[in-house]
């Protein structure tokens, strides 16, 4: 049925993501009847802060795990990633303890200071998960990643329901998500058969220097990009409060779940296959890139039309009248999500061709435009979401074109 290992691996990822989406869609109507808008909103605020700082918890050295030909070098990168993760967790703990309130006020989420221990734990666990996931990608154990896509929503959603029935606060959503990450991380390390105790502890300077672009370019790039992605939560919290953030979170989850079936299935496979293609023949990278973008553009048309035509009716039917605004949010945001779907799996290409600085410049410009447009049109929740959609769609379209241009330029040089 499949003509290549690339398609087989995408199929494995797709199957896991699809089953995970079914679990999410099945349990979400129950969760929205247990937790109110504010509890979802408070949970999303904490998740956004965790995502922001976890994005640089290992200075992005974990991304380099996939690249070396020699296992010894890969193991050294794992050692470096783990050591940096421990270091950043300790430093962030001190910073949050001394200046947490000022920092969270700057991010427009001052109430997050009350949950500092939860945030620190979340950053460390997420960092460990990112290291383990890249190790599994290196070993091409996509079946394991596919299983993760099923196990994680089972634990997170079933756990959220169970704890919520006892006491429906955001903590139930938080603890179930963290537990899911912990279990998957353990599974990843066990499946990789990596002996953490025997990881190299000496002569790490060579890999630190060789892959220093990940620290100096990818880290700020990822931080700014993550801040840009979390900006809606931060600004909606500031202008409209946690209740509206809760509605936005449900809309985002309903959009992300089916689109992640497609995007993440391609993303993890593309990173490994494109890296291998670039090392063998630069022309193969261009072919892989073009084929991936074309497939994503075609596949994404169906969810685009489905959301635009049916979101309000479907949300009202499944989640109830009190959540119908989530359907409106989905329709406003969907065009931006379509272009994000096309861009996200191939956005890692700048790292593969060692032109991360181009991605950094594009993301900085995008952040300024997104922030400025959302603040300028903050008169209502609908205008701020429309500004987000337009700025996002333009950014992802332009970013994808720039990747194509620099692959062609690299091939011709």
How far apart are alpha carbons 380 and 374 in whole angstroms?
Answer: 10
Based on the number of CB atoms within 10 Å of its own CB, is 358 exposed (0-12), middle (13-18) or buried (19 or more)?
A: middle
| Look-up of token digits 């779907």 | 341
pLDDT single digits (tens) 235-246 = 999 999 999 999
- Residue 2 is predicted with a pLDDT of 40
- Phi first, then psi: give them for residue 204, nearest 5 degrees: -90, -10
How far apart are alpha carbons 138 and 375 in whole angstroms?
Answer: 41
Q: Give the residue ranges of the chain where pLDDT is below 70.
A: 1-4, 6, 413
In Å, the largest CA–CA distance within the chain is 63
């Amino acid at each position: 049925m499949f003509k290549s290992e690339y398609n087989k691996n995408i199929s494995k990822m797709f199957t896991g993501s699809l089953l995970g989406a079914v679990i999410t869609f099945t349990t979400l109507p129950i969760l929205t009847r247990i937790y109110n808008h504010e509890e979802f909103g408070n949970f999303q605020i904490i998740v956004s802060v965790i995502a922001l700082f976890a994005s640089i918890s290992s200075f992005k050295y974990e991304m380099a795990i996939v690249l070396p030909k020699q296992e010894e070098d890969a193991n050294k990168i794992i050692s470096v990633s783990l050591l940096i993760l421990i270091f950043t967790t300790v430093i962030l703990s001190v910073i949050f303890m001394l200046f947490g309130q000022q920092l969270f006020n700057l991010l427009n989420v001052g109430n997050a200071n009350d949950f500092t221990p939860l945030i620190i734990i979340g950053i460390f666990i997420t960092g460990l998960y990112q290291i383990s996931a890249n190790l599994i990608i290196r070993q091409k154990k996509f079946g394991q990643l596919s299983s993760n896509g099923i196990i994680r929503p089972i634990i997170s959603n079933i756990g959220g329901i169970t704890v919520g029935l006892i006491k429906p606060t955001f903590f139930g959503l938080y603890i179930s998500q963290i537990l899911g990450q912990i279990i998957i991380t353990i599974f990843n390390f066990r499946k990789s058969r990596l002996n953490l105790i025997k990881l190299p502890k000496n002569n790490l300077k060579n890999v630190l220097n060789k892959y220093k672009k990940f620290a100096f370019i990818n880290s700020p790039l990822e931080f700014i990009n993550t801040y840009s992605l979390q900006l809606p939560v931060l600004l909606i919290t500031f202008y409209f409060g946690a209740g509206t953030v809760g509605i936005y979170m449900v809309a985002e989850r309903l959009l992300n779940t089916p689109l992640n079936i497609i995007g993440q299935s391609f993303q993890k496979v593309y990173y490994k296959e494109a890296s291998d293609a670039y090392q063998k023949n630069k022309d193969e990278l261009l072919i892989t890139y073009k084929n991936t973008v074309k497939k994503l553009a075609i596949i994404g048309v169906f969810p685009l039309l489905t959301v635009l035509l049916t979101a309000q009716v479907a949300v009202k039917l499944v989640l109830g009248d009190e959540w119908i605004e989530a359907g409106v949010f989905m329709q406003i945001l969907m065009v931006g999500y379509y272009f994000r779907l096309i861009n996200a799996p191939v956005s890692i290409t700048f790292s593969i061709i060692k032109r991360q600085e181009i991605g950094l410049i594009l993301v900085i410009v995008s952040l300024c435009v997104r922030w400025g447009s959302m603040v300028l049109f903050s008169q209502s929740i609908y205008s701020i979401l429309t500004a987000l959609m337009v700025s996002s769609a333009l950014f992802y379209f332009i970013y994808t074109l720039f990747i194509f241009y620099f692959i062609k330029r690299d091939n011709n040089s």
